């Protein structure tokens, strides 16, 4: 009998510095471990792919709230590599040695940081609509205006970022075609509600920490990532334009880029099962 969505309730571990890190497990408890890095904003409660698909793949899916999200204590000034360290400590606490990583949108840089910092533990990486470095020329080209404003503010006037975020609306700031892809606002809200409700538990702390990490130097060399990396990205994505995937794929040795023609950003929720399946040991060449 496959586990249900609530088979593995939210738990916390205490890290060496005394912070609590909240996480959730889904899928097959005896399956291959995969750490999933949620989007921005997001939380451990994101239900993509669904429980049945995750269990059917034989995956033990582990998702944690990054510091400042959900029930994880904040860590002011955290970097991509700080979060990668948290992932490694969580793996230690769970008795997990080798694992794969997957990240969607804002989760992608953290997945890559973990692969770089734990080369003897991470077996493969799968990214969907992943954001690339934002401190490079042309990073904002073709990007939906509200997203570009947010990241520009993070880079140039970080003290104004919370005010900017508080004055906006996630649904109103999304491109109309992205909303239509989910059957309108009601469909979008139903699909994303569990993850976003938990993401907002601490206000904007998590989003601000993510944005600041994205716009600064990432702190590691993409060319030094030595595990298989696969990327899925819609070529009609305006939230994170397709050239971000091209930039990453061109710099990560052997990276496989899957161009999803005619698809936008939120359509990548429908690619989560495919991405997860690519991480199974028998799929890795």
Q: Looking at residue 48, what is its pLDDT?
A: 80
pLDDT tens digits, 89-146: 999 999 999 999 999 999 999 999 999 999 999 999 999 999 999 999 999 999 999 9
pLDDT at 253 over 90: yes
pLDDT at 87 over 80: yes
Q: Which residue has the higher pLDDT, 197 or 69?
A: 69
pLDDT at 7 over 50: no
Q: Looking at residue 106, what is its pLDDT?
A: 98
pLDDT at 3 over 50: no
- Give the Cα-Cα-Cα angle 118, 120, 124 (nearest 5 degrees): 75
Grade residue 47 by pLDDT with cuts at 50, 70 and 90: confident
pTM above 0.95, yes or no: no
Phi first, then psi: what are they for 51, rounded to 5°?
A: -60, -45
Q: How does the average pLDDT of the chain come out, rounded?
A: 91
Identify which of 4, 7, 13 has the alpha carbon closest to the alpha carbon of residue 71. Answer: 13
CATH 3.40.50.1820 is held by the domain 11-279? yes
Q: How far is the C-alpha of 135 from the C-alpha of 219, rounded, in Å?
A: 12
Grade residue 236 by pLDDT with cuts at 50, 70 and 90: very high
| Whether the Cβ atoms of residue 239 and residue 175 lie closer than 8 Å to each other | yes
Lowest mean pLDDT among 16-30, 160-174, 230-244: 160-174
Q: How far is the C-alpha of 262 from the C-alpha of 63, rounded, in Å?
A: 29
Lowest mean pLDDT among 40-49, 140-149, 190-199: 190-199
Q: How far is the C-alpha of 35 from the C-alpha of 173, rounded, in Å?
A: 29
Helices 145-156 and 205-215: crossing angle in degrees, nearest 10, is: 80
Locate the domains of the chain by residue range. Answer: 11-279
pLDDT at 2 over 50: no
Q: Looking at residue 4, what is its pLDDT?
A: 37
Q: Which residue has the higher pLDDT, 51 or 171?
A: 51
Q: Looking at residue 284, what is its pLDDT?
A: 64
pLDDT at 54 over 70: yes
Q: Which residue has the higher pLDDT, 279 or 7?
A: 279
Q: Are strands 32-37 and 99-104 parallel, antiparallel or unpaired?
A: parallel
């Amino acid at each position: 009998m496959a586990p249900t969505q609530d088979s593995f309730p939210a738990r916390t571990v205490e890290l060496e510095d005394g912070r609590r890190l909240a996480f959730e497990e889904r899928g097959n408890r005896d399956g291959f471990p995969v750490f999933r890095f949620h989007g921005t904003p997001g939380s451990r409660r994101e239900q993509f792919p669904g429980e049945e698909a995750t269990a059917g793949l034989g995956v033990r899916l582990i998702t944690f709230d990054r510091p400042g999200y959900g029930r994880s204590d904040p860590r002011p000034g955290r970097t991509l590599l700080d979060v990668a360290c948290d992932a490694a400590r969580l793996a230690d606490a769970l008795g997990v040695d080798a694992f794969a990583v997957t990240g969607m949108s804002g989760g992608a840089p953290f997945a890559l940081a973990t692969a770089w910092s734990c080369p003897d533990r991470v077996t493969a990486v799968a990214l969907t609509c992943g954001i690339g470095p934002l401190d490079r020329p042309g990073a904002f080209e073709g990007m939906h205006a509200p997203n570009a404003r947010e990241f520009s503010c993070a880079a140039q006037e970080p003290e104004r970022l919370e005010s900017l975020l508080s004055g906006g609306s996630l649904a109103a700031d999304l491109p109309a075609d992205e909303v239509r892809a989910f059957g309108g606002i009601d469909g979008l809200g139903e699909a994303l509600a569990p993850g976003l409700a938990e993401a907002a538990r601490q206000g904007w702390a998590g989003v601000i920490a993510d944005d600041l990490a994205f716009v600064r130097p990432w702190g590691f060399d993409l060319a030094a990532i030595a595990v298989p990396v696969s990327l899925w990205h819609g070529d009609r994505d305006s939230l994170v334009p397709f050239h971000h995937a091209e930039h990453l794929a061109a710099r990560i040795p052997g990276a496989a880029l899957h161009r999803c023609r005619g698809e936008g950003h939120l359509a990548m929720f429908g690619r989560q099962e495919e991405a997860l399946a690519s991480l199974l040991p028998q799929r890795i060449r």
